[in-house]
């Protein structure tokens, strides 16, 4: 009623209430409101009513949901169809509303879509530009929800009309429409690119369109959209698109410019402002820059989405981008800088973790960490000179972009600008002057900080006078960002060295001024936290490095302020880092006025529920006690020790490591005060910790150091007591794991290593006597065997008759005792190879019953030798035994015992680390033998060779021969190849990357991921039949290898083919395989969303089947748990796919997602996984 009111204000108020009413009224009232508004919008005579109707309908469409929308559509759509055919103004209103309806509720308008398409398509040829624009947008929205056949008709109709179009305006409209469809549903348009691309290329190359700026711009924008939205289908056309974009990046028909790219960058060229107006030329009416802008954006799209084309882009695009630095339009120039920045970032991503085999440059090179191909293509000299020239431009935006490019270049090269400091510093100095723009100053200071950080040893001394005053002025700047970055630059100046000396040597006045500026910021209360933290860290570096120049009076004023900041909750972690820097200073700064207070504060931090704070406090205490242990009294030591007690546990092993490291430091620096404290407070916790199977790594190493220091500090008087306590852990009757026994044994070994030979001999003799007693407790025997082995690793025990003790232990009824004896024999042989290695080899041949255990001993010995980095020298070397060991292992490759073969494979693999030139040729010979077991063992052994310290060059020469066995007829061999492939890809991906370009590796790998009926056999179990899938393990291993390839070699993979094979595994019979497929699908959805969106509809059914599957009524709890975990994994995948851009354009997926929202249980699961994965970069992290 009020919509008909004569007062405009009343009408506007009535429209504002529509949003609230639509959520509350019943369906009949909602239909009435929609009908009234639709009637207003098609009113031909009253423009005010049309405005009211348009605003009201847009509001209504924005608030109705999928349940209430049909009522609105029923009343509105027929009137919109009428309005579209009405006069121009009414049609414009109706097209805008129709576009909103199609975007929001297109899936509910399936019946009306054919009629709507028929109505609006002819309007693309309208003589009115505004109409054509609205229709083009509307068609793009219609393409989202159109069924496949209707979509095909739509695209065909556009092609036909485009071919019949006479005027350039019509052609441009059709190109805009195609580009709009591509942006909306590129995955659906992809199959039509083979028709579209040639047509657009023809338009771009046609002489009659070379001055049609809009036509060229539209074609290039369409190319950009295809590159981004149709990644699979655009591949064959990329070279031509890049060529066209490079042509039009220079498009400027109204401006005569020298096209000689080489002369542009010559050093001797006059330094003039080439971007100022030239002669009488005026660019006010020139819009050719739009073509250049579209061309640059098209190139940028290729750069961002095609990392595999990096080499081609460097060769073709990089020189052109550098040349186009002369671009006179600032908008286009910014886009050129952005494209070049993208190219450098792609380079950085490809070279961040190079493999050893890529590092074949001289170590002295600035670019030693980059592949040769990249270094040769990245013309650093030309690029830096071009950027330096642009730094003299009048535009501050240009200078900012130049500094951003230089930052990216430093990150790519990890430095590499030593030779350009002289040319760069003047421009940096100018950019940080007081009059410079704030954003430019921040960028320049950030770059300067990175320049100092990435060029250690560079001679900046002659530039301090040029940069110093402006940097110090920036420290006092009112802008917090400038001040914070300037403080960090001061810190870099402070710590920088040249020729082994301090950079600021002889700059006493500058140092005093820098100290004063930093202290002013440190002492100020009312400033941003970022500035406070930067001031604290910088002051710590100044005092630690330049304290002798700063002087005692300044120190006495600064240290109390640091203590005050330490007591502040917001700055205490930063203050701890600064104080730790002070404590580690070579100048031995006198901090006695705050030392005890700092220690007391740190001890209180240890009880806080803040991991970062406790970690920083422990590291600071360690540094303080190492340097100033004598300043700390007994009471303070006891206070610290009490706080450390709670940290010694297996709950947080890194903090345990730091706590034990601190204890060890306290014993070393102040033994008289701390040995007894350790025994009273720490040792009881340590004895409990040793019983944990989680103790390992650096925490265990710190514990070993503590025991050794305790013995040394006590001059051996504590040795027997500590030894008794360690052995007493087993006497307590606790059943300990192998890991715990090994940890205790290593601590015993540390104790024995800290005493003299006589004491050690007595201890070992006691161990042997206990082991010789057949009635002794098994767990004590296991512990003593581990102890003997650990001691034997470090000392020659050939004087003891340990072989009899070991062989007697092999007869034990306890498997743990046998394993401990085997481990001990290998470790003892490490310290006395000349005696025990021949013994082990002889026993392997003669003692078939104990062959597996003896092979374990041999493996232990080889592993220990391999960890040393090669064959040793002298009498303890493997040199004289290599051929014997090799022949024995090769003879055992075809053993009937799978355990023996597995052990032989590991021995051979570790042996190849020691002598690759001897072992690898023998392994190549083994893979040619007829025995299936021998081939499988030889291939499997390579898994243990390909580690962090693998002989890469030797492996690269032969790995193809091993992986070709992926075509072997026998499952056992293929299983071994897949395992080795996965290991190689994970540890040394550079070995695998060249093989991914071959025509056999990936097809063979994908073939193993396929379900094969001929590998399924039926086993009769009495009255029942059970199906056994022999190919299940192969599929699991193949998927594991694919997952590793996706992580390590993604740029070498054809994502489309990879995804095709992955899709099939979503319907695999095994839940484990489905979950592995879900995990990879989530990764692809984040990394390659365009490829995944192309097949999103085909993913809906397998995911829906899993989510709707019910467990049987009699299912076991384990089956229910597995089922729930599978459904959770599937739902995580759905949530991840739904987050992809334009996932709402895939009908079947949208329908499945809506069905999930209708099911209360599934909706709850979806909300649960969405909350769990909130904020993560990938939902795959949940797996």
Q: pLDDT digit string (tens) for 1087-1134?
A: 888 788 888 888 999 999 999 988 888 888 888 999 999 999 999 999
Residues across the chain: 1183
Angle between helices 213-229 and 168-189 (to 10 degrees): 0
**CA angle, corner 137, sides to 133 and 139, nearest 5?**
115
What is the predicted pLDDT for the residue at 257? Answer: 55
What is the predicted pLDDT for the residue at 3? Answer: 57
- What is the DSSP annotation of 3-44? GG-S-HHHHHHHHHTHHHHHHHS-HHHHHHHHHHHHHHHT-S
What is the predicted pLDDT for the residue at 731? Answer: 79
What is the predicted pLDDT for the residue at 909? Answer: 93
Given pLDDT bands bounded at 50, 70 and 90, which one contains residue 764? Answer: very high
476 alpha carbon, distance to own chain's centre: 38
Is the pLDDT reported for residue 347 higher than 60?
yes
- What is the DSSP annotation of 368-393? TTS-HHHHHHS-HHHHHHHHHHHTTS
Is the pLDDT reported for residue 270 higher than 50?
no
CA distances from 556 to 522, 551, 953 (A): 14, 9, 59
Q: Which helix (H) or strand (E) holds 1017?
A: strand 1016-1021
pLDDT in tens, 21-53: 777 778 888 888 888 888 878 887 777 778 877
* Tokens read off for 385: 């000179």
Nearest residue to 453 via CA among 419, 417, 428, 477: 417
Is the pLDDT reported for residue 874 higher than 50?
no
CB 372 within 8 A of CB 381: no
The alpha carbon torsion through 906, 907, 913, 914 (nearest 10 deg) reads: 170
The mean pLDDT value for 446-459 works out to 89
CB 792 within 8 A of CB 827: yes
Given pLDDT bands bounded at 50, 70 and 90, which one contains residue 518? Answer: very high
Phi, psi of 1020 (to 5 degrees): -85, 120
Burial of 501 (0-12, 13-18, 19+ CB in 10 A): exposed
Given pLDDT bands bounded at 50, 70 and 90, which one contains residue 278? Answer: very low
Is the pLDDT reported for residue 280 higher than 90?
no
Angle between helices 572-583 and 529-550 (to 10 degrees): 20
* Tokens read off for 1080: 């990879």
What is the predicted pLDDT for the residue at 1052? Answer: 84
Of 608-617, 733-742, 847-856, the one with minimum mean pLDDT is 733-742
Counting DSSP H helices and E strands in the chain, the numbers are 59, 4
- As a 3-state breakdown, the chain gives helix, strand, coil percent values, each rounded to 5, of 75, 0, 25
What is the predicted pLDDT for the residue at 554? Answer: 87
Taking only Cα atoms into account, the Rg of the chain, rounded to an integer number of angstroms, comes to 37
Alpha helices in 496-585 (DSSP H): 508-523, 529-550, 552-566, 572-583
pLDDT in tens, 530-588: 999 999 999 999 999 998 888 888 888 999 999 999 999 999 999 999 999 999 998 88
Is the pLDDT reported for residue 897 higher than 50?
yes
CB 538 within 8 A of CB 487: yes
Please list the residues that pair with 1026 across neighbouring strands: 1019
> What percent of the chain lies above the pLDDT cut of 90?
52
Most confident by average pLDDT, 97-111, 390-404, 1081-1095: 390-404
Given pLDDT bands bounded at 50, 70 and 90, which one contains residue 675? Answer: confident
1125: Cβ contacts below 8 Å, ≥ 6 apart: 1075
1174: Cβ contacts below 8 Å, ≥ 6 apart: none
Segment 231-239 long-range contacts (CB within 8 Å, at least 24 positions apart): 231/305, 231/1055, 231/1088, 231/1090, 231/1091, 232/190, 232/1055, 232/1056, 232/1091, 232/1094, 233/190, 233/191, 233/193, 233/194, 234/190, 234/193, 234/197, 237/193, 237/197, 238/302, 238/306, 238/309, 239/312
Of 39-43, 133-137, 611-615, 795-799, the one with minimum mean pLDDT is 39-43
CA distances from 928 to 961, 1016, 1181 (A): 10, 28, 42
174 or 377, greater pLDDT = 174
Of 156-160, 187-191, 984-988, 1161-1165, the one with minimum mean pLDDT is 187-191
Nearest residue to 739 via CA among 647, 823, 648, 861: 823
Nearest residue to 53 via CA among 4, 119, 116: 4
CB 744 within 8 A of CB 780: no
Cα separation, 755 vs 927, whole angstroms? 51
The mean pLDDT value for 960-965 works out to 95
What is the predicted pLDDT for the residue at 1051? Answer: 80
Nearest residue to 945 via CA among 930, 924, 973, 965: 924
What is the predicted pLDDT for the residue at 375? Answer: 55
Three-state DSSP class for residue 1024: strand
pLDDT in tens, 684-709: 999 999 999 999 999 999 999 999 99
537: Cβ contacts below 8 Å, ≥ 6 apart: 487, 488, 491, 574, 577, 578, 581
Nearest residue to 437 via CA among 472, 474, 396: 396
**Mean of the per-residue pLDDT values of the chain:** 86
What is the predicted pLDDT for the residue at 256? Answer: 56
What is the predicted pLDDT for the residue at 1038? Answer: 95
CB 786 within 8 A of CB 820: yes
Given pLDDT bands bounded at 50, 70 and 90, which one contains residue 15? Answer: low
Given pLDDT bands bounded at 50, 70 and 90, which one contains residue 275? Answer: very low
**CA angle, corner 903, sides to 897 and 907, nearest 5?**
145
Three-state DSSP class for residue 46: coil
Three-state DSSP class for residue 1026: strand
Is the pLDDT reported for residue 462 higher than 90?
no
Is the pLDDT reported for residue 1179 higher than 70?
no
User: Residue 682 has what DSSP assignment?
Assistant: I
The mean pLDDT value for 934-949 works out to 93
Burial of 999 (0-12, 13-18, 19+ CB in 10 A): exposed
Cα separation, 214 vs 222, whole angstroms? 12
What is the predicted pLDDT for the residue at 361? Answer: 34
The mean pLDDT value for 355-374 works out to 40
Most confident by average pLDDT, 361-365, 421-425, 962-966: 962-966
Three-state DSSP class for residue 62: helix
- The 10 Å CB-count burial string (b at 16+, else e) for 919-946 is bbebbeebbeeeeebbbbbbbbbbbbbb
Given pLDDT bands bounded at 50, 70 and 90, which one contains residue 354? Answer: very low
Phi, psi of 1021 (to 5 degrees): -120, 80
CB 1091 within 8 A of CB 1059: yes
The mean pLDDT value for 849-859 works out to 93
The mean pLDDT value for 134-152 works out to 90
Query: Is this structure's pTM higher than 0.85?
Result: no
Residue 561: CB atoms within 10 A of its CB come to 17
Is the pLDDT reported for residue 258 higher than 80?
no
User: Residue 325 has what DSSP assignment?
Assistant: G
User: Residue 878 has what DSSP assignment?
Assistant: S
* CA dihedral over 696, 698, 701, 705, signed as positive or negative: negative
Is the pLDDT reported for residue 739 higher than 80?
yes
What is the predicted pLDDT for the residue at 872? Answer: 40
What is the predicted pLDDT for the residue at 69? Answer: 86
């Amino acid at each position: 009623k009020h919509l008909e009111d004569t007062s405009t204000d009343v009408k506007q108020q009535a429209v504002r209430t529509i949003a609230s009413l639509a959520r509350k009224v019943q369906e009949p009232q909602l239909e009435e409101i929609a009908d009234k508004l639709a009637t207003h919008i098609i009113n031909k005579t009253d423009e005010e009513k049309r405005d009211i109707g348009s605003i009201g309908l847009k509001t209504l469409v924005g608030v109705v949901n999928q349940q209430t929308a049909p009522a609105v559509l029923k009343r509105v759509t027929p009137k919109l169809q009428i309005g579209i055919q009405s006069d121009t103004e009414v049609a414009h209103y109706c097209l805008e509303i129709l576009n909103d309806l199609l975007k929001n509720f297109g899936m509910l308008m399936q019946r009306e879509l054919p009629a709507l398409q028929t109505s609006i398509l002819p309007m693309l040829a309208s003589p009115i530009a505004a109409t054509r624009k609205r229709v083009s947008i509307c068609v793009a929205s219609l393409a989202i929800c159109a069924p496949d056949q209707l979509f095909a008709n739509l695209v065909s109709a556009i092609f036909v009309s485009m071919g019949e179009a006479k005027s350039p305006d019509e052609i441009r409209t059709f190109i805009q429409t195609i580009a709009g469809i591509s942006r909306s549903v590129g995955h659906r348009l992809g199959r039509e690119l083979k028709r579209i691309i040639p047509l657009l290329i023809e338009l771009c190359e046609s002489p009659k369109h070379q001055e049609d700026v809009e036509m060229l711009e539209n074609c290039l924008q369409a190319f950009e959209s295809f590159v981004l939205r149709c990644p699979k289908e655009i591949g064959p056309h990329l070279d031509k698109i890049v060529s066209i974009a490079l042509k039009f990046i220079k498009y400027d028909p109204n401006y005569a410019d020298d096209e000689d790219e080489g002369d542009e960058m010559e050093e001797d060229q006059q330094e003039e402002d080439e971007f100022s107006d030239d002669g009488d030329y005026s660019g006010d009416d020139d819009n050719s820059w739009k073509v250049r802008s579209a061309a640059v954006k098209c190139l940028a799209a290729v750069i961002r989405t095609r990392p595999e084309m990096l080499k081609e882009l460097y060769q073709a695009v990089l020189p052109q981008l550098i040349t186009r630095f002369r671009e006179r339009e600032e908008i286009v120039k910014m886009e050129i800088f952005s494209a070049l920045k993208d190219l450098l970032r792609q380079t950085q991503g490809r070279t961040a973790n190079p493999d050893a085999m890529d590092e074949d440059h001289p170590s002295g090179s600035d670019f030693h960490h980059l592949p040769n191909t990249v270094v040769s293509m990245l013309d650093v000299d030309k690029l830096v000179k071009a950027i330096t020239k642009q730094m003299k431009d009048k535009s501050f935006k240009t200078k900012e972009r130049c500094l951003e490019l230089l930052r990216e270049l430093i990150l790519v090269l990890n430095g590499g600008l030593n030779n350009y400091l002289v040319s760069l510093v003047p421009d940096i100095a100018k950019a940080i002057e007081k009059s410079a723009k704030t954003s430019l100053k921040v960028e320049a200071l950030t770059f300067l900080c990175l320049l100092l950080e990435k060029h250690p040893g560079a001679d900046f001394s002659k530039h301090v006078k040029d940069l110093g005053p402006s940097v110090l002025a920036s420290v006092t700047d009112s802008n917090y960002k400038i001040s914070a970055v300037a403080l960090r630059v001061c810190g870099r100046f402070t710590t920088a060295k040249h020729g082994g000396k301090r950079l600021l040597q002889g700059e006493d006045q500058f140092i005093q001024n820098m100290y004063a500026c930093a202290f002013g910021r440190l002492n100020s209360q009312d400033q941003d936290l970022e500035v406070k933290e930067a001031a604290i860290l910088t002051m710590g570096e100044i005092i630690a490095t330049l304290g002798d120049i700063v002087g005692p009076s300044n120190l006495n004023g600064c240290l109390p302020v640091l203590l005050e900041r330490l007591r502040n909750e917001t700055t205490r972690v930063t203050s701890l880092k600064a104080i730790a820097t002070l404590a580690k200073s070579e100048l031995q700064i006198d901090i006695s006025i705050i030392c005890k207070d700092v220690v007391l504060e740190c001890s209180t931090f240890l009880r806080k529920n803040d991991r970062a704070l406790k970690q920083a406090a422990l590291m600071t205490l360690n540094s303080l006690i190492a340097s100033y242990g004598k300043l700390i009294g007994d009471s303070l030591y006891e206070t610290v020790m009490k706080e450390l007690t709670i940290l010694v546990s297996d709950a947080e092993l890194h903090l345990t490591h730091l706590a034990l490291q601190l204890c060890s430091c306290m014993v070393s620096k102040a033994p008289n005060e701390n040995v007894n404290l350790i025994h009273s407070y720490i040792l009881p916790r340590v004895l409990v910790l040793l019983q944990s199977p989680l103790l390992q790594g650096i925490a265990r190493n710190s514990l070993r150091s503590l025991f050794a220091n305790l013995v040394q500090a006590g001059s051996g008087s504590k040795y027997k007591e500590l030894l008794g306590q360690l052995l007493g852990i087993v006497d307590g009757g606790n059943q300990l794991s192998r890991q715990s026994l090994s940890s205790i044994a290593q601590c015993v070994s540390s104790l024995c290593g800290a005493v003299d030979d006589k004491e050690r001999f007595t201890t070992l003799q006691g161990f042997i006597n206990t082991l010789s007693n057949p009635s002794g407790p098994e767990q004590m025997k296991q512990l003593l065997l581990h102890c003997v082995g650990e001691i034997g690793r470090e000392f020659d025990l050939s004087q003891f008759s340990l072989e009899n003790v070991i062989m007697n232990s092999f007869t034990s009824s306890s498997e743990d005792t046998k394993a401990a004896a085997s481990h001990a024999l290998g470790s003892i042989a490490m310290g006395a190879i000349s005696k025990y290695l021949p013994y082990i080899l002889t026993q392997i041949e003669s003692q078939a019953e104990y062959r597996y255990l003896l092979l374990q001993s041999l493996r232990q010995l080889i592993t220990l030798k391999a960890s040393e980095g090669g064959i040793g020298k002298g009498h303890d070397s493997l040199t004289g035994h290599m051929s014997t060991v090799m022949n024995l292992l090769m003879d055992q490759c075809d053993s009937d015992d799978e355990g023996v073969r597995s052990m032989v494979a590991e021995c051979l693999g570790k042996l190849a680390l020691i002598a690759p030139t001897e072992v690898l040729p023998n392994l190549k010979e083994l893979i040619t033998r007829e025995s299936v077991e021998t081939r499988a063992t030889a291939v499997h052994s390579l898994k243990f060779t390909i580690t962090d310290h693998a002989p890469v060059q030797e492996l690269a020469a032969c790995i193809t021969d091993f992986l070709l066995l992926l075509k072997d007829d026998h499952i056992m061999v293929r299983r071994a190849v897949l395992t080795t492939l996965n290991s190689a890809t994970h540890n040394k991906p550079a070995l695998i990357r060249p093989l991914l370009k071959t025509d056999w590796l990936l097809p063979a790998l994908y073939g193993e991921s396929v379900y094969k009926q001929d590998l399924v056999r039926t086993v009769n179990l009495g009255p029942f039949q059970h199906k056994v899938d022999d190919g299940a393990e192969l599929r699991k291993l193949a998927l594991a290898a694919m997952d590793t390839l996706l992580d390590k070699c993604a740029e070498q993979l054809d994502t489309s083919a990879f995804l095709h094979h992955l899709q099939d595994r979503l319907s695999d019979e095994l839940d484990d395989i489905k979950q592995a497929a879900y995990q990879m699908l989530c990764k692809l959805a984040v990394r390659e969303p365009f490829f995944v969106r192309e097949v999103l509809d085909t993913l809906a059914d397998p995911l829906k089947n899993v989510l709707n599957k019910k467990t049987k009524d009699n299912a076991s709890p384990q089956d229910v748990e597995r089922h729930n975990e599978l459904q959770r994994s599937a739902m995580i995948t759905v949530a991840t796919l739904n987050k992809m851009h334009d996932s709402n354009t895939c009908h079947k997926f949208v329908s499945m997602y809506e069905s999930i929202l209708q099911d209360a249980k599934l909706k709850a699961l979806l909300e649960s996984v969405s909350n769990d994965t909130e904020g993560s970069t990938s939902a795959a992290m949940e797996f």
